[in-house]
Structure 1
Amino acid sequence: MTRTTVMKTAASLAAGLLLVSASPAVAQAKEALGPFGYGGVTLGMSAKTARATGKIVLKTNDGGCSGWDLKAHPTGENAVGMFISKKRGVAVIFAAKGVKTPQGIGLGSTTKQLKRAYPRLRTSASGYPYVSVEGNPKAYYSFLVSRGKVYEMALGLNTQDCVN
């Protein structure tokens, strides 16, 4: 082998290793819940615009708010992945399993982790923790906690009219 052949082979091998080692990191990158939306759907987006993304499916249409699922995260019976208000557009998006906020909070996070990630966490009149979304003054995160762990969380518009 000539020196040029060895150098070309080494360069090809290095490039291949770079591609192989970079692939898992890219595959592991996940979209966060918030600060403006999730799964290609944005808070405030009308039902018509949200439907046009092709990423959601209608589940219920009762009154002022309709219930939808992200096609990538179906919720099963008696649940929805988001509510869309006739007045406000996409009003609330619920976190699917494995989805986290930019601060790393997801289903299964502990109360201690929640408080550490969100030092300005407050408690609503109905008893659930919530916090303003960093980077989006029009939105909040709400959390339902049982036995010290988050079992449900959502990203919602401050002005949403679908859930309490």
Structure 2
Amino acid sequence: MTMTEGIEMERTNTRRLGRTALVTALVGGGLLGGVAPATAAGSAESTAFAEHAAAGKTATLGPFGFGGVRLGMSAKQAAATKKIVRKPGYSPCAGWDLKAYPAGRDNVGMLISKKRGVAIIYAPKGVRTPQGIKIGSTARQMIKAYPKLEQSDSGYATVTVPGNPKASYRFLLSHGEIYQVALALKNQDCAN
């Protein structure tokens, strides 16, 4: 049985038995993630994020972008915001960081495609989707927030972004906990 068939079977069971069956599949290894280009969680939260949190504001990823950068912006448009900085060595798409949320030495905050513009934005630690999901959220919380989750061939749990049908949220889990959250164009050409 493929993972997708397994998820569909678990969804059927979920309708009959509640969400416990799908959560069990997720926690038990059904959606444990795949190979990701990079995680956006740096080794320490940035000073800007700490100041933002101290002011009582919650940073939100989506539905159209994050930190003043929107999905689909060209590299030139995104750079013109003066909120991002280029990171060398990423291919096929260019790696960038938001200045206010540095992703760390071996990671990127976003990938920008020559063809599609800003294609993927990775959530920094502490940043939530409008539905409250962030790095560290549990599989149970993710399923409650996004009951129409699907699994991609590359191992991501994905769902269409509420309010933006051209984008999806992509989640990677390990041991029932989310360790990567991304906002991506559905037609992005940067990562599996």
Under TM normalisation by the shorter chain, which class is it?
0.7 to 0.9
Determine helix, strand or coil for the equivalent of 2:120: strand
Is residue 2:96 matched to residue 1:68?
yes
**Residue in structure 1 matched with residue 128 of structure 2 by the alignment:** 100
**Is contact 2:149-2:158 (8 Å) kept?**
yes
Higher-Rg structure is 1
Q: Deviations over 1:33-85 (max 9, x none)?
A: 00000000000001001001010000025454100000011111121000000
Report 1:113-132 matches (<5 A).
113-132=141-160
The one-letter amino acid paired with 2:145 is: A
Determine helix, strand or coil for the equivalent of 2:142: helix
**Is contact 2:170-2:181 (8 Å) kept?**
yes
Mapped partners of 2:174, 2:73: distance in 1: 32
Report 1:9-28 matches (<5 A).
27-28=55-56
Determine helix, strand or coil for the equivalent of 2:144: helix
Percent identical among aligned pairs is: 61
**Residue in structure 2 matched with residue 133 of structure 1 by the alignment:** 161
**After TM superposition, which residue ranges in structure 1, 4 or more long, deviate above 3 angstroms?**
61-64
Report 1:145-164 matches (<5 A).
145-164=173-192
**Residue in structure 1 matched with residue 82 of structure 2 by the alignment:** 54
Q: Deviations over 1:103-145 (max 9, x none)?
A: 0000000000000000001111222211000000100000010
Unpaired runs of at least 5, structure 2: 1-52
TM-score (structure 1 length as normaliser): 0.81
The one-letter amino acid paired with 2:131 is: Q
